[in-house]
Structure 1
Amino acid sequence: ALASRGALARSTDAPMTTKTKVFSKSARRSRASVVVRADGGQKKISQNEFTERAWEAIVLAPEIAQNASQQIVETEHLCKALFEQKDSFALRIISEAKGDPAAAAGFIDRFIARQPKVTGGAQQVLGRHLEALVEEARQQKAAMGDDFVAVEHLVLAIVKDDRFGGAMLAEIGVNANQIEGAVKTLRKGSNVTDQGAEGKYESLRRYARDLTAEARAGRLDPVVGRDDEIRRTIQILSRRSKNNPVLIGEPGVGKTAISEGLAQRIVSGDVPASLQGVQVMSLDMGLLIAGAKFRGEFEDRLKAVMKEVTDSDGGIILFIDEIHTVVGAGGSGGGGG
């Protein structure tokens, strides 16, 4: 790691019960009071078994159906809810599988528009295909050794849906194997062990800049007058141990520029063999801290970043700009101390 420093709401658990096949009207307004029932069994669909993003999509699906004046809540409504999430992981899966997210979103809208519409205050009904999809997602979760049903499990279940999912994949020219491969690539061997799992995937892409990519594209300015510092940094990084340089100096003296100069030298091949082809990533502490309201959130994000760096097996150099801001970072909301 390369670092610099300047001068020295969560909703309550609301079980969804499969019993009379009706969405309660309160579900359309309050995410904390969703009730879904279906004829037949006594299985419950509880918030406790889903990640936060997966549950958010399940709750939003009946609202999407209502907006389309449709009584039956089906897989296409859930898929649209997944696609419309901020920083949608479902869309990332489609992109990684070499599919066109815009084409997929267009197909969903056209499919929903073709479904029967109702008028008046008819109660919404849970479609049998959506019921089957949730059960398939549970099976995917068990097969992958995860603790919670996450967005990727729902996407893999949608792929196996003959009524809607298969047609969507055919529309965008992607098959089930490509989707499965994309999920494995994006998860990088991680398992879903908590309800915020999706927020930890691709943490470097989310919170860091790839300085080597920017240098390769010619977007970095030349670094002047810092050759000695860059050479010393390269020397420390080339060690087998104690290879984490810390750049200390007054604001504006060019500490960040040294990391950019390092990236430019790596791209030009002007580094030892041990640093050839290495990525230099600059961690944005502002993004990492933003929204970390409760104690532990910031630490979880930082751990996810560090895990990706460690898993690269020397393939990534992480530059932590303004590293002194790490001390005491993260809110203490919800508790004192």
Structure 2
Amino acid sequence: MDTFNPTSKTEAALTTALQTAFAAGNPEIAPAHLLISMLDHTDGAVAALLQAVGADPIVVRRGAQDLADQLPTTSDASVVPQLGRDALAVCTAARRAATESGVAHVSTEHVVLGLVASDTAEAGLLAAHGVTAETLHAVLPAEPSGAIADADPANSRWALREYTTDLTELARGGELDPVVGRYAEIRQLALISSLRGRKAAVLVGADGVGKTSIIAGLAQRIVAGEAPDLLRDNLVIALDLLAMVAGARGFGEFEQRLTAVLDGIEDRAGRAVVVIDELPTLATVADAYATTVTTVLAPVLARPALRLVGTATPERYARLVAHDSALTRVFQQVEVREPSQADAVAMLCGVRPRYEAHHQVRITDYAVQAAVVLADRHLPGPLPDKAIQLIDVAAARLRMATLDRPVDVDELQDTIRRLETEQTALKQEPAEQVAERSSRLRSELATARARLSQLLTEWRDRQRTVDRVMDLQDDLNRITGRWLEEDRIVDRDLAQQLADARTDYERAERAGDFGRASELRYRTIPHLERRVVERAESAGAPLAVSVGQIEDWHIAAVVSEWAGLPVDRLNLS
């Protein structure tokens, strides 16, 4: 049993099985004890597994208890139950199942596989209820390298999924916003990460200046093959330290989780840039375990293949250094300043296509410029974050105003309900006394109902139009994607041109070639999209044209509300 390496849930099940055997006076732990323990323990995972193959966990549990009741007992209360021969055979089979799955730790699912593979009465019980190796393998996940393992700190693959985010994977899938500008900071970050000596960097800047976007920019450069040679094949992995702390019973378990994550990173790529957003959370972790920040970071810093990058505001980083002065020898600072208005406009232009696609609206250059200028003048906080929020909110409002039921409809419905209630009350009064009031109520109700009907008709007509508009980009992507996938489609070249133009636009934005980006955005891409629409319509798949765009006055309306200033006092020039 030297090689039996259980997960935390398996270990808990074994402990419970021992306690069950001791309470019953059984001198040995039998497979029945294991089965009862797993059905009563492990958050219902084994019960759910039995249900998946068509067995009733309650009936199986009752049968296991019947087998346990037939086991020999001893009156000597000092006897501590040991693993019996049958239970040992089950554990050996479970370890074999884990090895075949490609994992180092034995999960409760592996123990169930060990039970059905054993020559025991418990295996016969399970088989009678349809639980066999074949039925179990049919419902267990087919992922390689041990996807059936419990959620356990020592399982590196599970730990990676639970505690990290792979930014390079997001960049490869196009899920990160384009990063425009910040070239000096990205280059400095890449340089520090390439050093042989101190390989830890901290991005220091106010909240909202774009520290995390710089890290995203590094991930995008690695994916695009534009990073230094030493970083060319690195992953960029963001750690969630607070999630690692949650539920950990002590610093040892936290360190075990962190080590599992680092092992998983090295198994996947060998080299990586490890990101800790909001580096001052390290102080929280250190305080929780009465240790130092450098001790918490030791597992990362001790691995030559890993680089470390953190983010912090100047104030919080100063407090962190005060908490552990040794950090000044670990981290090299990269100052991230608030961008100028011109740089902020360029940054917003870079992310504009993502917000247009999300809200299905057009965002004009005037709106982008107004967002930067008005945010800088009238709203607290640094650029570009507050300007991006303005764009996001203005676009969401326009979309909601177009899609949601008008406020006038709700107000009219309230008015109608109030008038109907009053009309019902008047029926209790003598007709001659309320004749004039009743007549007026009937007239007001008729007017309100007619107006409500008109508003609902207009809204539904507008909604039908917008429903088609909302699908325009999806339709374009679907059509061009189909054309790209099917060689027999005559418009494959057109689809490829549109896909290439969109890619070139994002590259031009990242490179700061705004002349080329403007040409692509306002001439080349719209022209190709119109040709796609024409081709689709000629093939019997009509597409709507885009409606609704954000202008500078939409931005001014949001700023007016947030800053408490009249719109006429906001200079849009």
Which of the pair has the greater relative contact order for Cα pairs under 8 Å at 6+ separation? 1
Q: Give yes or no for contact 2:192–2:199 (8 Å, CA) kept in 1.
A: yes
Q: How far apart are 1:207 and its partner, in Å? A: 0.4
- Could you tell me how far apart the structure 1 residues matched to 2:173 and 2:133 are? 34
Q: Which amino acid aligns with 2:92?
A: Q
Aligned twin of 1:326: 282
SS in 1 for 2:23: coil
Which of the residues 171, 176, 186 maps onto 2:135? 171
Aligned twin of 2:180: 224
Aligned twin of 1:139: 92
TM-score by length of 2: 0.35
- Could you tell me how far apart the structure 1 residues matched to 2:256 and 2:173 are? 32
Q: Residues 136, 171 of structure 1: CA spacing in aligned structure 2 closer, same or farther, 3 A cutoff?
A: same
Q: How far apart are 1:283 and its partner, in Å? A: 0.6
Once the two structures are superposed, residues 92-125 of structure 1 have per-residue CA deviations (whole angstroms, 9 ceiling, x without a partner) of xxxxxxxxxx9x655434365886979xxx9644
Q: Identify the structure with the greater helix proportion.
A: 2
SS in 2 for 1:209: strand
Aligned twin of 2:18: 16
- Could you tell me how far apart the structure 1 residues matched to 2:180 and 2:35 are? 51
Matches within 5 A, 1:68-87: 84-85=44-45
Q: Residues 266, 43 of structure 1: CA spacing in aligned structure 2 closer, same or farther, 3 A cutoff?
A: same
SS in 2 for 1:157: helix
Q: Give yes or no for contact 1:277–1:315 (8 Å, CA) kept in 2.
A: yes
Matches within 5 A, 1:167-316: 168-171=132-135, 182-183=145-146, 198-202=152-156, 203-292=159-248, 294-311=250-267, 314-316=270-272
Q: Give yes or no for contact 2:193–2:200 (8 Å, CA) kept in 1.
A: yes
Note the residue ranges of structure 1 that are not aligned, 5 or more in a row.
Answer: 1-9, 18-22, 25-33, 46-54, 64-80, 92-101, 188-195
Q: How far apart are 1:159 and its partner, in Å? A: 5.6
Q: Which amino acid aligns with 2:23?
A: V
Q: Residues 159, 215 of structure 1: CA spacing in aligned structure 2 closer, same or farther, 3 A cutoff?
A: farther
- Could you tell me how far apart the structure 2 residues matched to 1:56 and 1:15 are? 5
Q: Say if 2:117 is the partner of 1:157.
A: no
Q: Which amino acid aligns with 2:18?
A: M
Q: Which amino acid aligns with 1:35?
A: A
Q: How far apart are 1:209 and its partner, in Å? A: 0.7
Once the two structures are superposed, residues 235-279 of structure 1 have per-residue CA deviations (whole angstroms, 9 ceiling, x without a partner) of 222334432222222222222212211122222222234333422
Q: Residues 159, 256 of structure 1: CA spacing in aligned structure 2 closer, same or farther, 3 A cutoff?
A: farther
Aligned twin of 1:76: none
Which of the residues 50, 53, 56 maps onto 1:108? 53
RMSD: 4.9
Aligned twin of 1:126: 68
Q: Say if 2:23 is the partner of 1:35.
A: yes
- Could you tell me how far apart the structure 1 residues matched to 2:53 and 2:86 are? 16
Q: Give yes or no for contact 2:163–2:239 (8 Å, CA) kept in 1.
A: yes
Q: How far apart are 1:284 and its partner, in Å? A: 1.2
- Could you tell me how far apart the structure 2 residues matched to 1:198 and 1:301 are? 8
- Could you tell me how far apart the structure 1 residues matched to 2:135 and 2:88 are? 25
**Equivalent residues, number:** 249
Q: Give yes or no for contact 1:226–1:258 (8 Å, CA) kept in 2.
A: yes
* Larger Cα-atom Rg: 2
- Could you tell me how far apart the structure 2 residues matched to 1:106 and 1:151 are? 15
TM-score by length of 1: 0.55
Once the two structures are superposed, residues 181-204 of structure 1 have per-residue CA deviations (whole angstroms, 9 ceiling, x without a partner) of 734x888xxxxxxxx993221322
- Could you tell me how far apart the structure 2 residues matched to 1:115 and 1:151 are? 16
Q: Give yes or no for contact 1:209–1:281 (8 Å, CA) kept in 2.
A: yes
- Could you tell me how far apart the structure 1 residues matched to 2:244 and 2:283 are? 13
